[in-house]
Structure 1
Amino acid sequence: MKLNRKWVFGILLVAALVVGWWMFSKKPTPAPIAMATPNIATYKITAGGSAGMTSFDGVVESVRQSTIAAQVAGNVVQIHVRAGDRVRAGQPLLRIDGQAAEQAAIAARAEYERQVMLYNKKYISKAALDQAKVQMSAATAQSGFFLIKAPFSGVVTDVGAKLGEMAMPGMPLLQMFDPSSMRVSAQVPQSQLAQVPSSATARVELSGMTDANQWLVPASMEVLPAVDARTHSGTIRLLLSKTNVDLVPGTFARVWMELPASANPATPTIWIPAAAVVRRGEMNAVYVKSAQGVFLLRQVRIGQSQGDKVQILTGLSADEEIAIDPQAAASAESESKK
């Protein structure tokens, strides 16, 4: 028993020595070293102003656009235009087979001339002559409906008729619009409609216009005196001045205008240094300082420019901090990812 106790004591002593050696020989894991945030100048965003820029979605329209329909029945025998062609007022667009109508017009004219001869010889009354003249005019007008001409100068947008197809009265044949007179129609919520005077300063943004300096200035604006009962919104129309931009009906547009703060309290005006904006193609962005002190690139939409400041329409909020030097912020972002 004494021998067994010595062996047990020895084993325990060796185990204690091994555990102690293992604990003291293990090197402590160094604590992570926090990277020092570079000393980058920042700009704290403040919002204010008595008016803010508000946007409304709209669509480009032509003041004069027309769907030309058939007025008589007959087969389509000639089509002179295609979609995208520019045409002059009075230019032939297509022809419907009107041989029967032309023959009827010739016969009506011959009958009228015969009635004139009879009237001159006192064989018929003036009323009979007038009736023959009315019939001739009606037959001549009917024959004119078979040749479809452009009602105004413009661009053909669609040709729905096909050669050999039977056209019926009221059937759409083609569509066209006048590109010299364009406008934008936008829907405005009823709560803001009363705050949109006809003299309000408005700008029109089209696809691809990343800079507010490219926005179009409308020649005039009108507020239609009606509200849609389903959407509770009204319509504003902005007549566009002639521009080098090719405008196509149906194109998406965004209308920007300054409204009083009472009409748009949720959208304050934000201005930042223009040098803080990073421009990459059609994208505008700024480096925003996060809560961890890291600068992250965020896309923004810019508005008007005043001196060395640029207006931010969307993408930033009050009390956020942005980097004044985008290159320094980009370098700091790259270092933080290593």
Structure 2
Amino acid sequence: MIHVTATWFTKPAAVAVILFIALAVGCGRGKSSTAGAPPDARVPGDTREPAAVEKDAEASIVRLSDAARQRATIAEITVLPRPASDVLSAPAELQLNGDRVAMVGPRVAGRVARIAVSMGDRVDAGTVLASIDSPDVGSLLASYASAQAAESVAQRTYQREKDLFARRISAEREVFAAEAELARATSERRTVESRLQALDVALPRAGSSSPASALLPIRSPIQGTVIERNAAIGAPVGPDAVLFTLADLSTLWLVARVSETTMRDIRRGDTVTVTLDALPDQRVSGRVSYIGATVSDTTRTVDVRIDVPNRTGQLKPGMFARAQLATRGARTGPSNQLLIPQIAVQELNRRRVVFVPRSDGGFDVREVTVGASVGDDIEVLSGLKAGEAVVTTGSFTLKSQAVRGGAGESQ
């Protein structure tokens, strides 16, 4: 028989041992549940508030590596107040004067029988451009001849009945019937006659033995130049066909696309000087006749129409030009403005921004408020101070980097 000697602890000692074991287990669990977790990560079950994430102070800063900076060809200028130019220059294009353009075609169906003009010919109002052989015109001419004959018969019948009634041979009702028939015949003849006149068809003479021509003349409604011809001999045409386009080229429209921020400088009747890309040594003058009522969604410009004389015919629709308009400074006197090149201003998240160089090599993304465009420059109303530098060439590269993430270096 084996006897086991038991060792009995006192009550205080037992309590100490239990507390030690509990603390050891708790520490072990804490280390295993948080191992590998980031310092700011929250542990499930932890009800403490997480530490606030520090806001990136460089969220509005763009950085480029040395290699990226060289590829971007970054150029900077110092912003200084300077007097604005006396003129505002806007791209423009010559167009036809829409008030002096005519599109000419037949009023009835037929075939082209004759063409009297060629491209580039100058014509007067009323000049015959072509002739159309039209069955409809032939039918109207036949109806007109028939109506003339019926009217002539009705006229003789009415006259005879009047004579008979005067001699008391015929009743009065016969006179009334003959008179009604004459009125009907006259009305029919006038109806056919008006239709022929509307088509510009020459009316045959009463009693003429020669048949009337069924050719329908196509006449020019204006004085101008034939700039388009779609007619061909023998080609079938209809009332909706356009055979000729004529334009009076003595005046043209110059449509200039002016920035929306500059519209306050332009008034109807303003004198405009026009320089042409194709004729750099020639300058012409015109007047503003219309200012567009809407702004383009894509270019943020307004169309300004200028009437330009073209007496020599050297100006051609479609030529590119630049319109030079007097600015606000030219009207009120010169004043110093904070002007920067337009290429320095970029649009980022619906904001106008510029990029200001920093001493550490980065670029601040600075929001600006811009005013009127003056030539290749634009007025800065707020966001920049005199003496600060801005990026000109290379600003689009910085914008692209800002869109990709702003802070950090571009490789």
Output the TM-score relative to the length of structure 1: 0.57
Alpha-carbon distance between aligned partners in 1 of 2:225 and 2:127, rounded to the nearest angstrom? 12
Alpha-carbon distance between aligned partners in 2 of 1:228 and 1:216, rounded to the nearest angstrom? 27
The equivalent of 1:222 in structure 2 is 289
Larger Rg: 2
The equivalent of 2:134 in structure 1 is 98
**What is the identity, as a one-letter code, of the residue corresponding to 1:55?**
A
Contact 2:150 2:185 in 1 (8 A): no
More strand by share: 1
Gap change, CA 1:128 and 1:110, over 3 Å in 2: closer
Gap change, CA 1:197 and 1:118, over 3 Å in 2: same
Alpha-carbon distance between aligned partners in 2 of 1:228 and 1:108, rounded to the nearest angstrom? 56
Equivalent residue in structure 1 for 2:325, among 251, 254, 257: 257
The equivalent of 1:158 in structure 2 is 228
Gap change, CA 1:266 and 1:260, over 3 Å in 2: farther
Matched, 1:53 2:88: yes
Long gaps (5+) in structure 1: 1-45, 269-312, 316-338
Long gaps (5+) in structure 2: 1-80, 159-174, 202-214, 330-334, 343-374, 378-411
Contact 2:276 2:322 in 1 (8 A): yes
Gap change, CA 1:148 and 1:245, over 3 Å in 2: closer
Gap change, CA 1:314 and 1:195, over 3 Å in 2: closer
The equivalent of 2:255 in structure 1 is 185
Matched, 1:208 2:278: yes
Alpha-carbon distance between aligned partners in 2 of 1:186 and 1:119, rounded to the nearest angstrom? 67
Q: How many residues align?
A: 225
**What is the identity, as a one-letter code, of the residue corresponding to 1:85?**
D
SS at match of 1:135: helix
Please give the root-mean-square deviation of Cα atoms over the aligned residues, in Å: 3.5
1:160 Cα deviation after fit: 1.1
1:176 Cα deviation after fit: 1.3
1:171 Cα deviation after fit: 1.3
CA deviation digits over 1:5-24, x for unaligned, max 9? Answer: xxxxxxxxxxxxxxxxxxxx
CA deviation digits over 1:220-264, x for unaligned, max 9? Answer: 312335115645543222112354352222332321213236999
CA deviation digits over 1:152-189, x for unaligned, max 9? Answer: 11111111121111111211211111122322122323
Alpha-carbon distance between aligned partners in 1 of 2:338 and 2:134, rounded to the nearest angstrom? 61
Output the TM-score relative to the length of structure 2: 0.47
Alpha-carbon distance between aligned partners in 2 of 1:48 and 1:182, rounded to the nearest angstrom? 34
Gap change, CA 1:113 and 1:233, over 3 Å in 2: farther
Equivalent residue in structure 1 for 2:186, among 97, 113, 129: 129
Alpha-carbon distance between aligned partners in 1 of 2:328 and 2:313, rounded to the nearest angstrom? 31
1:118 Cα deviation after fit: 0.8
The equivalent of 2:246 in structure 1 is 176
1:139 Cα deviation after fit: 3.8
Alpha-carbon distance between aligned partners in 2 of 1:97 and 1:109, rounded to the nearest angstrom? 19
Alpha-carbon distance between aligned partners in 1 of 2:192 and 2:105, rounded to the nearest angstrom? 25
Alpha-carbon distance between aligned partners in 2 of 1:246 and 1:188, rounded to the nearest angstrom? 25
SS at match of 2:278: coil
Contact 1:112 1:133 in 2 (8 A): no
